[in-house]
């Protein structure tokens, strides 16, 4: 092989190596450039999301509610107080409601009033039971307390009272009857004695 041929082969090899290095460099630059674009896109998207989140956290949402109403002066508001007092059971109106005369606004549990009402009802029932007991004593029959089943204690007491008073009346009536019979016998005896005395008086007058 001549010297010129050797130089020609070396030159070709260098040219091929140079071409290969340049192509590898271009591919590396293209890959590096492509990776940089993806990274930039991701970073830009991330920063945009952060900015949007920051704006959303600082933003204010104004809600406007419109309604019809009227203004009331402090002097127009009156505090309502029950005259007798009691324990509040339930409110029938809400603060700020307009109420009218005669409108119920609250329900009270008047313990004292309820106790007085129960006592008065018991007293009325007792008077009715007394009346029924006296009428039954006059008629000499046992009273019917069934309409007063709501007052079992009073009914039991009045039943016992009626039995005692009825037994007492029966005993007294028996004594009175016995006394009447005794008095009738005395009257009959006195009548006989009077007749006998009159007969004796007639005989004495005849003899004289």
Enumerate the domain spans of the chain: 118-206
Is the dihedral angle over the CA atoms 85, 87, 92, 94 positive or is it negative? positive
158 by Cβ neighbours in 10 Å (0-12 / 13-18 / 19+) ranks as: buried
Main-chain phi, psi angles of 108, to 5 degrees: -105, 150
Which residues on adjacent β-strands are paired with residue 87? 109
Residues 6+ apart with CB under 8 A from 123: none
Structure tokens of 169? Answer: 């009346």
- Nearest of 29, 105, 98, 28 to residue 70 by alpha carbon: 98
Please report, in tens digits, the pLDDT of each residue of the chain (208 residues total): 455 566 655 566 555 554 444 455 445 545 555 556 777 788 888 888 888 887 777 766 666 666 676 776 777 666 666 565 557 778 888 887 888 888 888 887 766 777 788 889 899 999 999 999 999 988 888 899 888 888 899 999 999 999 999 888 888 888 899 889 999 999 999 988 888 888 888 888 877 6
What pLDDT, on a 0 to 100 scale, did the predictor assign at position 129?
92
- Nearest of 131, 88, 82 to residue 109 by alpha carbon: 88
Residues 6+ apart with CB under 8 A from 126: 154, 158
What pLDDT, on a 0 to 100 scale, did the predictor assign at position 119?
87
């Amino acid at each position: 092989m001549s010297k010129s041929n050797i130089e020609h082969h070396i030159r070709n090899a260098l040219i091929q190596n140079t071409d290969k290095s340049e192509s590898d460099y271009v591919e590396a630059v293209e890959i590096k450039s492509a990776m940089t674009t993806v990274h930039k896109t991701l970073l830009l998207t991330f920063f945009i999301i952060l900015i949007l989140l920051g704006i959303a956290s600082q933003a204010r949402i104004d809600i406007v509610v419109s309604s019809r109403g009227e203004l009331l002066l402090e002097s127009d508001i009156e505090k309502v107080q029950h005259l007798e007092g009691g324990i509040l059971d339930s409110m029938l109106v809400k603060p700020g409601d307009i109420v009218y005369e005669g409108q119920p606004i609250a329900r009270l549990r008047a313990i004292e009033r309820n106790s007085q009402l129960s006592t008065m009802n018991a007293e009325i029932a007792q008077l009715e039971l007394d009346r029924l007991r006296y009428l039954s004593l006059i008629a000499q029959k046992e009273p019917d307390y069934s309409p007063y089943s709501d007052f079992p204690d009073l009914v039991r007491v009045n039943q016992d009272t009626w039995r005692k008073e009825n037994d007492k009346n029966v005993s007294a009536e028996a004594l009175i009857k016995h006394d009447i019979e005794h008095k009738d016998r005395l009257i009959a005896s006195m009548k006989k004695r009077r007749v006998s005395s009159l007969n004796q008086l007639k005989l004495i007058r005849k003899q004289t």
